[in-house]
Amino acid sequence: MDNLEKIKKQGRRFKSLFIFLFIITPVIPVVVWIFYNNLPEVIREQVMKQFFTPAPPSLALDQRIYSSLAGLAVSAITMAGFYVLIRLFMLYEKGIIFSRDNVYCYRKLGYLIIISMAAGIIQNSVMSVIFSLHNPPGQRIITLSLSSSDIAIGIIGMIVVLISWIMDTGRDIMEEQEFTV
Amino acid sequence: MSIIINLDVMLAKRKMKSNELAALIGITEQNLSILKTGKARALRLSTLEAICRHLHCQPGDILEYVETGEENKS
């Protein structure tokens, strides 16, 4: 099997994987939050640690619904990312590796990574409000946090956008040479 | 692209085939096809010189400038 066929094969495999992830991404936050009180303790502990304001051991129904909605909003960005990956690996499946469409996929991924950083910060704040919704007045919390991992995600996103620009310029130079007679 | 290459017209006038011209000027038939179909991004002067020499014509017989809509707006 030559190298291009290997790329096409991997393109097909990962396209299928990302389609599967695209479908289950919105399901996970809804299932986790709606059934939060019934989750095994091991899983609930992982969920509790995820946010800057730790999640309480149990949540009321309205809190679980709001948490699901907040989770769905962030999942929409993740789904957009998987959609871009599906398109990118569809191109690889066809053996198209260095086209303008490939570059646009990388650029969109970079911007989505940056947006997901912002969404994560907002989600933390929203969840802090939801978790303290039933606290007595004077004990409700809203937090705004910026962690090193958020900054790292933002920097990675910017680097991906920069790489996509370099690839686009390189592709343009290559095309110029290819179509010089 | 605003520059049109009228190679087909000159080939017909000189009763020459594309593959013959490609062989004479030393480029591949694929490259000549890129030129004929308007996909070329740049044309070397050496290639233009070779085309004019073998088709017995002037650069103006091959190259034509056409104003596109974008230029008209400006």
Q: Which tens digit of pLDDT belongs to each residue from A146-155? A: 889 999 999 9
Partner-chain residue, chosen from A175, A176, A180, that has the shortest CB–CB distance to B44: A180
pLDDT digits (tens, 9 = 90+) for A5-42: 999 999 999 999 999 999 999 999 999 999 999 988 88
Side chain identity at residue B29, one-letter code: E
Distance from CA of B20 to the nearest CA of A (A): 16
The closest alpha carbon to A70, from A42, A99, A50, A91, belongs to A50
CB B66 within 8 A of CB B41: no
Which pLDDT belongs to residue A52? 67
Residue B74 pLDDT level (bands cut at 50, 70, 90): very low
Angle at A76 between CA A110 and CA A40, to 5 degrees: 115
Q: Which of B27, B40, B47 sits opposite A179 (nearest CB)?
A: B40
What is the structure's pLDDT at B61?
92
